[in-house]
Copies of this chain bind each other. A is one copy, B any other.
Amino acid sequence: MEGKIALEEHWESPDFSATGSHDFTDAQYFEAVQKRLQEFDKRIQDINKNGIETSILSLTQPGIEGITDPERAIKLAKQMNDYIAEHALSKYPHRFKAFAALPLQDPKAAGDELERAVNELGFSGALINGYSNIGDENTAQYLDEPQVWPFWERVEKLGVPVYLHPRIPLPNQQRIYEGYEGLLGSAWGFGVETAMHAIRLILSGLFDRYPNLTIILGHLGEGLPFTLPRVEHRLRHQRAETHGNHQKAPMEYLRNNFYLTTSGVFRTQALLDTLLEVGADRILFSVDYPYESMEEISLWFDSCPISENDRLKIGSENAKKLFQLDSVKVEK
């Protein structure tokens, strides 16, 4: 279909290797990915070819979140946001939008930068790569922790969505991966880390306090459509003080405060499960470019067995409403 909006589409500046080193990833694949991360003109051809009208760009993981020095994180986040504004948004204003990179190591600075990015640079919200390292690589700050709530208050006021993107589990929490380091990233670790992070947000009571917050999860909700009903079911029997201050059933938040994207998952069976758990109004098309092939995901999505009404919503209408995007006439 034409007119798709894609919103987990990554970039990287030649100045800052946002992904860090990649011991477990195939070198040839990673090289090709890195090249495309840093490039914008060829992207325009690719999104044209695949019926994508607008691509919302985000700094690839772990990016700013992996910087242990808060001061450096603050400085680098600004620099990155300015870079993408200049190199992509100003050149292709209707085709590229952006999520801000934020220095969550300092929640106040993160809020300031989000305001600047949205109000001055015209960004569409923020993409946060999971927990932030503070001080050292084994020290993590999750987004439901109390010091981060003032940040969320400002997000709600700004009225923009936050994309919660994966990163790999903390180095000292990788015992179960020993011997299978290839599972640490997108294959497995990304998903369980991010699903649990989202559960923390849900259970914390954050959405009770800031009910208009909107979180976007990739990879069909990191499995939560399948696994969260069991969380909800089993928490019935756990002591209340062991699972946060949430006021409602976990699935209610997933259906009302979250959007789930198709990034990197082209599995119809999983999409159907997602559709039956959150409904088509809460699902958004995405690619996870350049880690995934635009063509592979688009071909799948354009023909997967859902109603054309839902395809239109998931592919385009939901995102246009969420980001207040006007349709543009794409000249190819």
- Known contacts: A196-B176, A223-B226, A234-B186. The answer to whether A305 contacts B268 by CB under 8 A is yes
* In contact, A243 and B305 (Cβ under 8 angstroms): no
- The proximity string for A residues 261-274 relative to B, scoring 1 for CB distances below 8 Å and 0 otherwise, is 00011111110110
* In contact, A255 and B187 (Cβ under 8 angstroms): no
In the complex, A86 has a CB within 8 A of chain B: no
- Known contacts: A282-B309, A307-B255, A310-B279. The answer to whether A237 contacts B25 by CB under 8 A is yes
Among B175, B251, B308, the residue within 8 A (CB) of A308 is B251
* In contact, A26 and B140 (Cβ under 8 angstroms): no
- Known contacts: A255-B309, A265-B230, A307-B255. The answer to whether A24 contacts B238 by CB under 8 A is yes
- Known contacts: A230-B219, A235-B182. The answer to whether A278 contacts B265 by CB under 8 A is no
In the complex, A115 has a CB within 8 A of chain B: no
Bound CA span A307–B310, Å: 14
Bound CA span A98–B140, Å: 44
For A139, the closest partner residue in chain B by CB is: B175
In the complex, A188 has a CB within 8 A of chain B: yes
Bound CA span A69–B235, Å: 32
Among B172, B182, B309, the residue within 8 A (CB) of A281 is B309
In the complex, A324 has a CB within 8 A of chain B: no
In the complex, A135 has a CB within 8 A of chain B: no
Bound CA span A188–B191, Å: 13
In the complex, A149 has a CB within 8 A of chain B: no
* In contact, A181 and B279 (Cβ under 8 angstroms): no
**Nearest Cβ distance between residue A40 and chain B, in whole angstroms?**
23
* In contact, B185 and A269 (Cβ under 8 angstroms): no
* In contact, A273 and B226 (Cβ under 8 angstroms): yes
Q: What number of A residues sit within 8 Å (CB to CB) of B?
A: 82
Chain B contacts for A203, CB-based, 8 A:
180, 183
Bound CA span A176–B278, Å: 26
* In contact, B231 and A187 (Cβ under 8 angstroms): yes
In the complex, A170 has a CB within 8 A of chain B: yes
Chain B contacts for A238, CB-based, 8 A:
24-26, 182-183, 185, 187
In the complex, A179 has a CB within 8 A of chain B: yes
**Nearest Cβ distance between residue A188 and chain B, in whole angstroms?**
6
Chain B contacts for A220, CB-based, 8 A:
226
* In contact, A182 and B239 (Cβ under 8 angstroms): yes
Chain B contacts for A175, CB-based, 8 A:
140, 170, 172-173
* In contact, B230 and A277 (Cβ under 8 angstroms): no
Chain B contacts for A25, CB-based, 8 A:
237-239
Bound CA span A181–B182, Å: 28
**Nearest Cβ distance between residue A12 and chain B, in whole angstroms?**
17
Q: 11 new A-B pairs (CB below 8 Å) besides A170-B175, A176-B197, A187-B243?
A: A173-B175, A185-B238, A188-B227, A192-B192, A192-B196, A219-B230, A230-B267, A233-B266, A269-B305, A276-B307, A279-B313
Q: Give me the 10 closest cross-chain CB pairs, A-B, nearest first.
A: A182-B242, A182-B238, A279-B309, A268-B305, A182-B243, A226-B226, A187-B234, A273-B273, A279-B307, A269-B276
